[in-house]
């Protein structure tokens, strides 16, 4: 606070205010000082100046011991040292004006007493303001550090969540590929190409925070080819997205995870195909729904899928993912994020 760029303006205003306040309170009536008003104002301003500048010097000295002096200890020691300097500087100012400007005009004893009283009060006032300033800055620093820590924690969480995607996808499709090769399936090469293309997309875009819906849908088209080989005639996906929404953005790989989530928790067979619909709901939601044909034996959850998406949306956008379950339909609504140009 004492290093403020407008300190000289504050010093002048404090000196003037103190003089007018003393005049209004009739201080000079009870403590008669035969001195011109200009000399009294000068004394107030000079005392304020030296008290302020003295505290600047004291603060610089105490800052060298700052690691050992925390919070209250620093402020108390600072105030005590400032008080001693304030008393000394007031005595020097009164003596200088009385003896070098208007010799014997001041009644020295009364003037010294008033000077010390004023110096003590102005020092106390400045240190109260400084203490408030100190704690406000400290709280701001704590809040900034807390925010940075939360952001770092969120980034670590997000990275951990994103890292779940690649091994999970790789494991499922390597099983399919292994089966195809063992059966000498002629479509194995085509599957490998699609698998490579999808995995390339995962490596490139999964770490991103947001991606255009158009790119995600193109990725899903290739991913559906892999699904047809994993579940022949068992998974039927319908995608109906108006063109105007293709530039909107979503969390990367969210569609693939939701499709995988539906497959994981439902019976999927040619006799009981799983129908998955992807469409727009309202103006700012992407709806992914499927018919419910829940497995009797629940698979062990690995926190991949819906949980992953909910956490990423919470960490990245603060928006909530809506989950709706009825007797025969399971539906998830994920927020659509505005295109960059509109945002």
Tens-digit pLDDT profile for residues 65-76: 776 777 788 888
Instruction: Give the three-state DSSP class for 287.
Output: strand
On the CB side of 80, CA atoms within 13 Å amount to 7
- The tokens for 287 are 């709806």
Check if the beta carbon of residue 215 is closer than 8 Å to that of residue 339: no
- The tokens for 271 are 């006799």
pLDDT at 282: 85
Eight-class DSSP state of 208? S
Res 181 pLDDT > 70: no
pLDDT at 105: 47
- Domains belonging to the chain, first-starting first, are 7-148 (no CATH), 164-335 (3.30.565)
Res 305 pLDDT > 80: no
Check if the beta carbon of residue 209 is closer than 8 Å to that of residue 316: yes
Share of the chain above pLDDT 70, in %: 75
Q: Going by DSSP bridges, is the β-strand pair 285-291/322-325 parallel, antiparallel, or unpaired? A: unpaired
Q: How far is CA 118 from the centre of its chain?
A: 45
Least confident of 33-42, 141-150, 181-190, 244-253: 181-190
Q: Which of 210, 133, 203 is nearest to 170 (CA)?
A: 203
Q: Which of 36, 38, 45 is nearest to 17 (CA)?
A: 45
At residue 176's C-alpha, the angle toward residues 175 and 177, to 5°, is 90
Q: What average pLDDT score do residues 212-229 get?
A: 88
**How far from each other are the two terminal CA atoms of the chain, in whole angstroms?**
39
pLDDT at 156: 45
At residue 255's C-alpha, the angle toward residues 250 and 261, to 5°, is 135
Res 61 pLDDT > 90: no
The model's confidence at residue 279, banded by pLDDT at 50, 70 and 90, is very high
The model's confidence at residue 341, banded by pLDDT at 50, 70 and 90, is low
Give the number of residues written for the chain.
343
Res 164 pLDDT > 60: no
Res 290 pLDDT > 90: yes
Res 272 pLDDT > 50: yes
Check if the beta carbon of residue 336 is closer than 8 Å to that of residue 213: yes
Instruction: Between 56 and 330, name the one with better pLDDT.
Output: 330
| Maximum pairwise Cα distance, the chain | 117
Does the model's pTM come out above 0.85? no
Least confident of 3-17, 43-57, 276-290: 3-17
Q: What average pLDDT score do residues 67-90 get?
A: 83
Q: How far is CA 16 from CA 10, 46, 142, 192, 195, in A?
A: 10, 11, 37, 85, 81
Q: What average pLDDT score do residues 60-87 get?
A: 82
Instruction: Give the three-state DSSP class for 95.
Output: helix
Give the whole-angstrom CA distance, residue 257 versus residue 269.
20
Share of the chain above pLDDT 90, in %: 17
């Amino acid at each position: 606070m004492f290093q403020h760029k407008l300190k000289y303006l504050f010093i002048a205003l404090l000196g003037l205010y103190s003089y007018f306040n003393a005049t209004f309170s009739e201080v000079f009536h009870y403590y008669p000082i035969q001195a011109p008003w200009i000399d009294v104002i000068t004394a107030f301003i000079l005392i304020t100046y030296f008290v302020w500048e003295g505290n600047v010097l004291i603060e610089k000295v105490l800052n060298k011991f700052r690691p050992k002096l925390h919070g209250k200890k620093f402020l108390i020691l600072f105030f005590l040292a400032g008080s001693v300097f304030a008393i000394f500087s007031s005595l020097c100012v009164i003596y200088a004006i009385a003896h070098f400007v208007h010799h014997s005009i001041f009644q020295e004893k009364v003037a010294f007493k008033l000077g010390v009283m004023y110096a003590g009060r102005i020092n106390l006032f400045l240190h109260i303001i400084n203490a408030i300033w100190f704690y406000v800055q400290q709280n701001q620093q704590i809040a900034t550090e807390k925010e940075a820590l939360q952001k770092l924690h969120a980034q670590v969480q997000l990275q951990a969540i994103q890292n779940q995607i690649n091994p999970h996808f790789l494991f499922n499709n390597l099983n399919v590929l292994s089966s195809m090769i063992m059966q000498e399936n002629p479509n194995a090469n085509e599957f490998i190409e699609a698998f490579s293309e999808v995995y390339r997309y995962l490596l490139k875009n999964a770490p991103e925070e947001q991606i255009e819906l158009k790119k995600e849908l193109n990725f899903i088209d290739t991913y559906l080819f892999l699904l047809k080989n994993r579940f022949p005639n068992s998974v039927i996906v319908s995608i109906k997205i108006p063109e105007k929404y293709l530039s909107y953005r979503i969390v990367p790989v969210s569609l693939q995870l939701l499709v995988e989530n539906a497959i994981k928790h439902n019976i999927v067979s040619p006799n009981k195909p799983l129908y998955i619909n992807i469409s727009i709901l309202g103006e700012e939601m992407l709806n992914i729904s499927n018919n419910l044909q829940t497995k009797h034996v629940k698979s062990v959850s690995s926190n991949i899928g819906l949980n992953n998406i909910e956490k990423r949306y919470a960490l990245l956008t603060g928006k909530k993912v809506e989950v709706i379950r009825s007797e025969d339909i399971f539906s998830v609504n994920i927020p659509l994020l505005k295109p960059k140009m509109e945002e």
